[in-house]
Amino acid sequence: MLYVKIVIPIPVDGPFDYSVPAAFVPRVVPGMRALVTFGARKCVGYIVGVSKQSSIKNVKPIISLLDDAPILSKELLRLTKLVSQYYCCSWGEVIDTALPWQSRSCKKGLELGKAQENLPKTSRASITSLINADRQGRWDFYLNELRKCIDLGKQALILLPDILKVARFKERAAEIPNAVISTLFRKSPSELREWLKIRNREVNIIVGTRSAVFAPLQNQGLIIIDEETDYVYKQDQVPHYSGRQVAIMRAKLNGTSLILGSVARPLETVLLSRDKNIDFNEVAVEQAVRDIFILDDRTYFKGNTKKTEQISRYLQGVIDSTLSNKGSVLVYFDKKGFASYGSCLKCGYELECPRCSVNLVYYYEKNILSCSYCNYSIAAPRLCPQCNSDYIRYEGIGIEKVESQIYRLFPRARIVKLEHAQEAGSSYADIVIANKNILSLDSKKFDLVCVLNIDSMLSRIDFRSAEKTLLLLRGLLNLCTAKMIIQTSMPGHYVFKSLKNNNPEEFILPEMDFRKQLGFPPYKHLAVIKLRSPDENKVSDCANRFFEVITKETDGRSLEVLSLKQAQPFKIRGNFYWNIVTKGSRPLAMSALIKRCLKKVSHSGIIITIDMDPV
């Protein structure tokens, strides 16, 4: 009797043993899909092993084989298993993520050609860190490396943060002689068709977003991650994998060349450069020198401007001078709406989302209140919903309020507000008011870039706040041709010193020292155990039980339990959230211990997910 080990795309660890009927024995191999019975239902499972014996009694037979050839290569089986062990989820869940959504169907008939998996003979990965704030400069570097890869007859994969950039890069890559390009997007109608082309070696360049990191490369020669610091590479659903980290895993497993491109070197890459098991190189292109002025708003706002104003008199003068010289201005402000919250001055009632424990944001242009988490919205009330008085006041400053101030200060200027990744109107504008989506635009440059409210980002309760702030400022600096002004009440912070002096070490050294002292990434790994349920009491009890179990189970070496606390916000879309924060040095050991604890805690009605290396 022949048996197969099958993993199922559910949050339960496998693999599970099934017997193989005689008719399927001649062609069954790991990597195929099989239709099986799991519990009371039929579902698609993935064969990850074959054996002549099983320790399980009364083993169920597989119903049918859905493929004539393996849909998963040996390399992808190894990679998906490692990802499941690292990110504390089931192997089946990772495989389900790695394959096109159409493959989940129980139907047969995928046109699988005979794959020839040619992996590099070397077991040593080569990783290059490309530091260049100019996107087009980075892309020119990538195109040159892609040409070399194609000339060697190999396949290359490049990941970009969003679909817009994928489309733009595909146009550039089409210039390469003999390039046959495929684009790979999660859940797109063409995903299976493009996936099969890649597997059957009909293309040599694959361009895609995060999930393309699992592309079925048969002769991989190069992987590129552009904007490696973009947190969109981290999936916010199970499995909580990072496309960047999976690319590093894949490069190490197969000895593939990997290029990590960014505007500034992240601290994880700083530590990676010290890994003696890889060949690490750095290519750094210095940014053009701009005039950077750090404006101390404690001085420039004192006695000159109203508390609600964001444009100091000094900044007003510089903008006015730039406009007089026919220059263009970018005003950066990254808060939504007109006001952050509204409340009744008479009874104190706060306008909150009924589904989330957050204040509703007031949008003046549409005269609505909207939730930033669940998109719940209502017309802004004229009277207080609780006491019926007309004393509702809106507080806090959003991008619409900044826009109104700029219109008032510069009535003759052509002003455009951009809150989405679009260029409409920005080409003719004198002043563009924008949030972080402005970084997605390639063509627009500004003589003057003004950064407002940066302190709200720098002072967040987030150990990465300084790094995120510096990365943002370096991206904005690339949009500037002459002068950048940053308004802050912390002008002496090393983020601003590093930026102004164009010296990365002035940031890296103190920040790495800070992280090392606290035992934070990149020196340690964090894992957040997230519990959620619509029943507030039930999830609270479960969180406390889990906290007790994991505190007893840990030996202090594999994992350290840091805290148990309500998430912020506590309620989202009708669910209540609790977080247990842990840290350790070895992600695989951390995940294994957390999985053991999961089996010891009854959590019916509670959804528990593990976020390894949260961002």
For the chain, domain boundaries: 2-104, 126-284, 291-335+397-514, 525-612
pLDDT of the residue at 302: 62
Closest to 211 (Cα-Cα) out of 106, 128, 125, 101: 101
Q: Is the pLDDT of residue 113 over 70?
A: no
Distance in angstroms (rounded) separating the CA atoms of residues 180 and 169: 13
Inform me whether the pLDDT recorded for 583 exceeds 60. Answer: yes
Give the pLDDT of residue 427: 73
> What are 260's two structure tokens?
């990590």
Task: Read off the pLDDT of residues 146-156 as tens digits, 9 standing for 90 and up.
Answer: 999 999 999 99
Tell me what pLDDT residue 298 has: 81
Given this model, what pLDDT does residue 301 score?
67
pLDDT at 201 (0 to 100) = 95
Alpha-carbon separation of residue 362 from 20, 108, 337, 372, 396 (angstroms)? 62, 52, 6, 11, 10
Average pLDDT, stretch 434-456?
90
Q: Is the four-CA dihedral 36, 37, 43, 48 of positive or negative sign? A: negative
Q: Which of 65, 82, 55 is nearest to 30 (CA)?
A: 65
- Own/partner pairs, 601-607, CB within 8 angstroms, 24+ separation: 601/542, 601/545, 601/546, 601/549, 602/542, 602/545, 603/531, 603/542, 603/546, 605/533, 605/535, 605/538, 606/531, 606/532, 606/533, 606/538, 606/539, 606/542, 607/531, 607/532, 607/533
The reply to whether omega before 239 is within 30° of 0 (cis) is: yes
User: What are the CA-CA distances from residue 504 to residues 180, 286, 293, 474 (Å)?
Assistant: 38, 10, 18, 11
- How confident is the prediction for the chain on average, in pLDDT? 93
* pLDDT of the residue at 108: 67
Using pLDDT thresholds of 50, 70 and 90, give the confidence band for residue 352.
very high
Confidence band, pLDDT 50/70/90 cuts, at residue 102: confident
User: What's the topology of domain 291-335+397-514?
Assistant: Rossmann fold (3.40.50)
- My answer on whether omega of the bond before 30 falls inside 30° of 0, hence cis, is no
**Cα–Cα distance for residue pair 599/593, rounded to 1 Å:** 10
Query: Cα separation of 266 and 229, whole Å?
Result: 7
Q: Which helix (H) or strand (E) holds 562?
A: strand 560-572
C-alpha distances in angstroms, 62 versus 66, 95, 104?
11, 19, 16
In this prediction, residues 531-542 reach a mean pLDDT of 98
Q: Of 4-8, 308-312, 332-336, 407-411, which range is least confident?
A: 308-312
Q: List pLDDT tens digits, range 389-426.
A: 999 999 999 999 999 999 999 999 999 999 876 655 56
Neighbouring C-beta atoms of residue 570, cutoff 10 Å: 15
Which ranges constitute the DSSP H helices of 203-265? Answer: 243-254
Please tell me the predicted confidence (pLDDT) of residue 436: 92
What percent of the chain has pLDDT above 70? 94
Is a pLDDT exceeding 60 seen at residue 307? no
- Please state, in angstroms and rounded to a whole number, the distance separating the CA atoms of residues 609 and 594: 11
Tally of CB atoms within 10 A around 52: 7
Over residues 228-239, the pLDDT tens digits come to 999 999 999 999
Q: How far apart are CA 143 and CA 207, in angstroms?
A: 12
Residue type for 239, please?
P
Q: Domain 2-104: give its CATH code.
A: 3.40.1440.60
Q: What is the pLDDT of residue 115?
A: 57
pLDDT tens, residue by residue, 543-554: 999 999 999 999
Tell me the CB-side half-sphere exposure of residue 491, using CA atoms within 13 A: 12
Q: Which two tokens stand for residue 324?
A: 């007089």
Average of per-residue pLDDT across 58-68: 94
- What are the Cα distances from residue 280, in Å, to 228, 251, 455, 457? 16, 12, 35, 32
- Poorest-pLDDT segment among 144-148, 250-254, 296-300, 572-576: 296-300
CATH of domain 126-284: 3.40.50.300
pLDDT score of 289: 80
Res. 358: pLDDT tops 60: yes
Q: Is pTM beyond 0.95 here?
A: no
The more confidently predicted of residues 117 and 48 is 48
pLDDT of residue 123: 63
Number of residues written out for the chain: 615
- pLDDT range class, residue 101, cuts 50, 70, 90: confident
Strand partners, 379: 368
Helices 587-600 and 74-86: crossing angle in degrees, nearest 10, is 70
Q: Which residues 6+ apart lie within 8 Å of 123 measured at CB?
A: 255
Who's near 517: CB < 8 A, 6+ residues apart? none
* Shared fold status for 126-284 and 291-335+397-514: yes
Average the pLDDT over each of 206-215, 305-314, 408-417, 467-476 and give the range with the smallest value: 305-314
Instruction: Give backbone dihedrals phi and psi of 293, rounded to 5 degrees, phi first.
Output: -115, 120
Tokens of 3: 């048996």
- Work out the average pLDDT over 515-526: 97
Q: Which residues pair with 158 in a beta bridge?
A: 207, 224
- The two tokens of residue 21 are 């009927």
Residues whose CB is less than 8 angstroms from the CB of residue 423 and which lie 6 or more positions away in sequence, other chains included: 441, 443, 444
Q: Does the structural domain 525-612 have CATH classification 3.30.980.10?
A: no
The beta strand positions in 404-495, using DSSP E, are 415-418, 431-434, 446-451, 480-488
Residue holding tokens 């022949």? 2
> What gap in Å lies between CA 234 and CA 242, rounded to an integer?
4
Percent of the chain exceeding pLDDT 90 equals 85
Predicted confidence at residue 110, as pLDDT, reads 67
E-strand spans in 143-302? 155-159, 181-184, 205-208, 220-225, 257-262, 279-284, 291-296
